[in-house]
Structure 1
Amino acid sequence: MKIEESKVLFEKSREYFPGGVNSPVRAFGSVGGVPVFVKRASGSHIYDEDGNEYIDYVNSWGPCILGHAWGPVVEAVREACLDGLSFGAPTRKELVLGGLIRECMPSMEMMRMVSSGTEAVMSAIRAARGYTGRDKIIKFKGCYHGHSDGLLVKAGSGALTGSAPDSAGVPASYTEHTLLAQYNDESSVKKLFSEYPDDIGALVVEPVAANMGLVPPKPGFLEFLRDITAKYGTLLIFDEVITGFRMGLGGAQGYYGVVPDLTTLGKIAGGGMPMGVYGGKREIMEVVSPLGRVYQAGTLSGNPVATAAGIATIRALMERPEIYPTLEERAGRLVKSLREALPDTWVNQAGSLFSLFFTKNPVVDYDTALASDTVKYGIFFHYLLDHGIYTAPSQFEILFLSAAHTDEDIEKTCGIIKKAAGSLS
């Protein structure tokens, strides 16, 4: 497969952007080679600048659950654009989208729209600290909650170094109140609460960890988090930027039946446009300005184009609930193919989310994920890419399906997986 135009574009891009990209994983640093430059997308397929076609399992990292350029969403965006791109003032669309979100996730009694998942989580933590009057928070190794300073600690990459920041430019003082626990390990959480019983304002977690590869919660783990946070007066925050409207209309909290105090959304909530939302119990959200003393604002918050895309997407999902079992079944077929073709690997699945780890041992947390053979993953990735299958360019990212993926797509992918496994051996 020739990618000559992508090579030229990448070389030029390196003059303008750090590493030639505007988000690190796009640079293919974990797998080697030159990233393909996408020109357009339709349904389950993307097309690069050299004219190559790929079945896409990155799905813009999740938001295009209905498929790329799905007609009703595109039309909603077009109509919104004709009325103006941004007003910096309230709109009816904000109210409509907020109503749909609360209908699907009743725990979000009151919410605030922002422009990204990073902003949503950062703001939710600020609200939690303002409500509880406590500074410390708990996060889990390998869970990524955006790139705000206080959360860049073991955020899905890097060696274990206590609570030191993962990123240069983040003073250690910014993360001194961030406590680290091990995902799926109740004892690590209990230990922190025993050490700081009156100091922890929030515990933030991806209910399904999706930034160290996919790691589902062990049975009872989310229930445990709900119980222990309630016991110590700590707010439980579910980061559902990925799982919101992906695991089901009610997100992971609906899928697992565990209700947090605060929820953060992104990706699908904006239908593929830049969008984030945070919200929860009314009494908590009332600490946010202009009602309370927790300040947060944004010129583009509740953007009319993004809200239009979100409304069209969520309405379609509400009208077609059969999408979710269909996606889960098709993901299951891909997972079965991976397990049969690569018996010495580990594959995790949750709903339509899944990922492959090049390790024989079960992957249940950050440390076990890090045992994966990233070199083999890179070889596997490039074989798929060269044969028209676009997957995550990192061992520690996950794969997504959309409603546009057909049985033909799945069967073709399964066949190429078998051939890729043969090339590895």
Structure 2
Amino acid sequence: MLLNKSEFLFNRAQQFIPGGVNSPARAFKSVGGIPVFFNKAKGSIITDEDGNEYIDYVGSWGPMILGHAYPPVVKAVQDASFNSTSFGAPTEIEINMAELVQRMVPNVEKVRMVNSGTEACMSAIRVARGYTGKEKIIKFEGNYHGHGDAFLIKAGSGALTLGQPSSPGVTKGTAKDTLNADYNNLESVEKLLKENKGDVAAIILEPVAGNMGCIPPEPGFLEGLRELCNRHEAVLIFDEVMTGFRLARGGAQERFDVWADLVTFGKIIGGGLPVGAFGGKKDIMDVVAPMGPVYQAGTLSGNPLAMSAGLAQLSALENHPEYYVELEEKTEYLEKRMRLLLNEHEIDYDMHRVGSMTSIFFTSETVTNFSTANTTNQELFRIFFHEMLNRGVYLPPSPFESWFLANSLTYEMLDATLTAADEALEVAKAKVMS
């Protein structure tokens, strides 16, 4: 049997790479089949190794808010590479980036660049512990903050997709200092704070969950967490790796007008290159080495290629506020018409959208947290995903991931997506019911 190139490459990859992929979210475990191997993309069209083109709703899991190969980002990386790919020493562009972040997110008085969102979240937790002198943290079931040990307790994203909310290799000592609350449930947070009075250093969350599907905060939830942190002298950490610079120039903080003590960034801040950052109030950030005693370091932190790419993308977003308006309008256009299709096909669903993030849950439940997200019909999603893929639409290969839209999407692409969805829903419903 003649294999397509993705099948051939996946067979080859499995000989040298665990599971054939370098991140579990790419493995198609949730939907079955062979992962698609891509080799180029432009705007919102992504092309696989066999030359097939797809309308992209993954966007490298969020960074490509202005589309793949965005010309100013490409030029910035090319120009920077002529000088060197890395110095391991201070550069002016790091200062320019820090200044730009502070302008766009005014409560981030100081910021430290790192190399991934995982590293940013790990560092923010360490800083919060060092600043408060406390050891325990509160996180939320189904929220994903990277693969740091403290976060792999009832986690979302790839851990949820693979059916492994906790990971072997995480020690009991680490686990006992990680307390899990229910997302969108302030009472569960208050209970944990009461039971661990004086021991909680920080509460960390995705202000809009994107790793168990797109789930927005209920009215008053973020405000309640802010008040609880003030009352219990805990650091409020917003993981804005996904939402930062996407939901508004100031991220979820600006959109919901709730301001954290520390914020973590990734994805968009690097323009598609590996990068992360954490920042916040000056008095908290001043405990970070070499200013303070909390050690954090990284050989490639502030890498000139990543800084150049991020600076180009963030500058475009800062200088063109209309981009956010256009992106919101396009995502709303898709959402409204997708709801009509789901109603026409009489399929149980709950659909959420916040800015340019959206997702569909095939369930009759109202999805507000980890447990209700898990009621989604995974078999229906699996069929829907492959039917969309066969029609040239690339969705996140998991029912527990947000879709990310880019401003490079045209209304013609959105209409083509809806046409594909109409056909895919009909096929998926028929197969599930048969």
TM-score, scaled relative to structure 2: 0.95
Q: 1:408 aligns with which of 381, 401, 412?
A: 412
1:26-425 mapped onto 2 (5 Å cutoff): 26-156=26-156, 157-158=159-160, 166-343=166-343, 344-425=348-429
Three-state SS of the structure 2 residue aligned to 1:47 is strand
Query: Aligned-pair distance for 1:339?
Result: 1.5
**Letter in structure 1 aligned against 2:33:** G
Query: Aligned-pair distance for 1:168?
Result: 1.1
Task: Give the equivalent residue in structure 2 for 1:12.
Answer: 12
How far apart are the structure 2 equivalents of 1:36 and 1:120? Answer: 29
**Letter in structure 2 aligned against 1:354:** T
Three-state SS of the structure 2 residue aligned to 1:35 is coil
How far apart are the structure 1 equivalents of 2:207 and 2:193? Answer: 19
Contact 1:338 1:347 in 2 (8 A): no
Of residues 164-173 and 204-213 in structure 1, the stretch that sits farther from structure 2 once superposed is 164-173
Contact 2:289 2:295 in 1 (8 A): yes
**Letter in structure 1 aligned against 2:336:** K
Query: Aligned-pair distance for 1:165?
Result: 7.3
Unmatched tracts of structure 1, length 5 or more: none
Contact 2:206 2:238 in 1 (8 A): yes
How far apart are the structure 2 equivalents of 1:332 and 1:381? Answer: 21
Query: Aligned-pair distance for 1:357?
Result: 0.7
**Letter in structure 1 aligned against 2:385:** F
Query: Aligned-pair distance for 1:327?
Result: 1.1
Query: Aligned-pair distance for 1:3?
Result: 7.1
**Letter in structure 2 aligned against 1:386:** N
Unmatched tracts of structure 2, length 5 or more: 430-434
Query: Aligned-pair distance for 1:158?
Result: 4.8
Sort the Cα spacing of 1:158 and 1:393 in 2 relative to 1 into closer, same or farther, 3 A. closer
Query: Aligned-pair distance for 1:385?
Result: 0.3
How far apart are the structure 2 equivalents of 1:50 and 1:311? Answer: 34
Alignment RMSD: 1.4
How far apart are the structure 2 equivalents of 1:25 and 1:165? Answer: 14
Query: Aligned-pair distance for 1:424?
Result: 2.1
C-alpha offsets along residues 311-363 of structure 1, whole Å, 9 cap, x if unaligned? 00011011111111211121112212222222311111100000011112111
Query: Aligned-pair distance for 1:141?
Result: 0.2
Three-state SS of the structure 1 residue aligned to 2:290 is coil
**Letter in structure 2 aligned against 1:62:** G
Three-state SS of the structure 1 residue aligned to 2:382 is helix
Sort the Cα spacing of 1:109 and 1:367 in 2 relative to 1 into closer, same or farther, 3 A. same
Three-state SS of the structure 2 residue aligned to 1:60 is helix
Contact 1:352 1:401 in 2 (8 A): yes
How far apart are the structure 2 equivalents of 1:136 and 1:165? Answer: 19
C-alpha offsets along residues 249-272 of structure 1, whole Å, 9 cap, x if unaligned? 000000100010000000001111
How far apart are the structure 2 equivalents of 1:121 and 1:237? Answer: 9
C-alpha offsets along residues 113-162 of structure 1, whole Å, 9 cap, x if unaligned? 00000000000000000000000000000000000011101111459x9x
How many positions carry a matched residue from both structures? 421
- Give the share of equivalent positions with the same residue, in percent: 51
**Letter in structure 1 aligned against 2:349:** T
TM-score, scaled relative to structure 1: 0.97
Contact 2:160 2:400 in 1 (8 A): no
Q: Stretches of 4+ moved more than 6 A in 1? A: none
C-alpha offsets along residues 295-316 of structure 1, whole Å, 9 cap, x if unaligned? 0100000000000001000110
Three-state SS of the structure 2 residue aligned to 1:16 is coil
How far apart are the structure 1 equivalents of 2:388 and 2:185? Answer: 35
How far apart are the structure 2 equivalents of 1:50 and 1:62? Answer: 24
Contact 1:139 1:178 in 2 (8 A): yes
Three-state SS of the structure 1 residue aligned to 2:274 is coil
